[in-house]
Amino acid sequence: MTTAARVERIVTSAWASAALSHPACCGLSRAHLVGLVKELAAPWTARCDSARRDRRGGQRRRAPGAGPQHRLVFTNRVLVTLAVLRFQLPHVALAELYGVDRTTVTRAVHEIRPLLATRGFAVPDRPGVRLRTLADVFGYAAAEGVRLRIDGTEVQVRRPSAHRPGRRVFVSGKRRQNTVKTTTISDGQGRTLWSGADRPGRMHDQTALRTEGIAEQLRLHPDVTVDVDEGYRGLANEFPDQVSAPPHKPTEDVPEGEKLAWREARRRQSSRRICVEHANAEHKQWRPLQRYIGRREHSAETHRAVAGLVSDRAARRATVRRASTEIVLARQTAC
């Protein structure tokens, strides 16, 4: 490579990094991006060293820093991965920006995306604490007295090839499309606490969550309460003191007062539960969770990576504590 070409590549790479690091492109604030790069640096380095050790069959023979260097440095690898997660940009276009081959960008995404997916989910008002499993979420809710909100969401994926077994398993009965179903749990302010239980679209919402072990968690934590929609009616029937589903619709021959009471109870339950819908909408501001065009086996990893990043931003929102409207006596009065 000539000197002029090398200088042009460096200038182009610097411009690309400046553009992709903008919050409008990566979806993260500058401070959040810097913290994320610092957090991922150590596990990425350890993973690279482990892969090199496996290839060598032993310890390194040269001092650290020797040998050829990465044409796409670690910070740029994080940026291209965030650009793919944010806008689902073609790898070829990002490779052209940095003057590297398309396979280099693909390899970078496959290195950084698993690290993002395994970070877990941020906890509001608890810096450094992250939730990774359903048991973690219920343990946190039991310790902090948090009422959970649960809802499922679907993302359209590529249709499996024809004449293959299990082709219909991804067809959603609700959307009539090939989808992957994911369950989201949030608190009362729509801040994501967990996202997982990724299952093919044909599976029912409640079945997907039961296979993740929610019934056992409800038994282990009898003080934890949950708001759900009509799709989780079975859980509400099994755990009536913990799981709140919309009230049953009264029959037509009941008095008008009971119908009004049912509408008000349904409105109140929906108002408590709507915040988890807002959490799902926040996830779907990222293009891959609107319609995923990559390989289906990577969709769950992509969803967890995006949900973890969204939870970081949501956890920074201040906790709003609402005053109770219960009427109590200020002092005892003598009769």
Per-residue model confidence (pLDDT) at position 4: 46
Strand 179-186: give its sheet, edge to edge. 192-200, 179-186, 148-156, 226-227, 243-244
Per-residue model confidence (pLDDT) at position 3: 54
Count CA atoms within 13 Å of residue 320 on its CB side: 8
116 within 8 A of 81, measured Cβ to Cβ? yes
Nearest to 195 by CA among 312, 307, 117: 307
Strands 130-131 and 226-227: unpaired
Per-residue model confidence (pLDDT) at position 13: 76
Task: Give 118-130 as a 3 state SS string.
Answer: CCCEECCCCCCCE
150 within 8 A of 239, measured Cβ to Cβ? no
Rounded Cα distance between 106 and 84, Å, is 10
Nearest to 142 by CA among 219, 220, 223, 218: 223
Per-residue model confidence (pLDDT) at position 197: 86
Q: Is the model's pTM score more than 0.85?
A: no
Nearest to 274 by CA among 187, 180, 144: 187
Rounded Cα distance between 53 and 46, Å, is 10
Mention every residue, 6+ apart, whose C-beta is less than 8 A from residue 126: none
194 within 8 A of 140, measured Cβ to Cβ? no
Q: Which residues of the chain have pLDDT under 50?
A: 4, 7, 325
193 within 8 A of 309, measured Cβ to Cβ? no
Per-residue model confidence (pLDDT) at position 45: 86
Per-residue model confidence (pLDDT) at position 280: 92
Task: Give 43-78 as a 3 state SS string.
Answer: HHHHHHHHHHHHHHCCCCCCCCCCCCCCCCCHHHHH
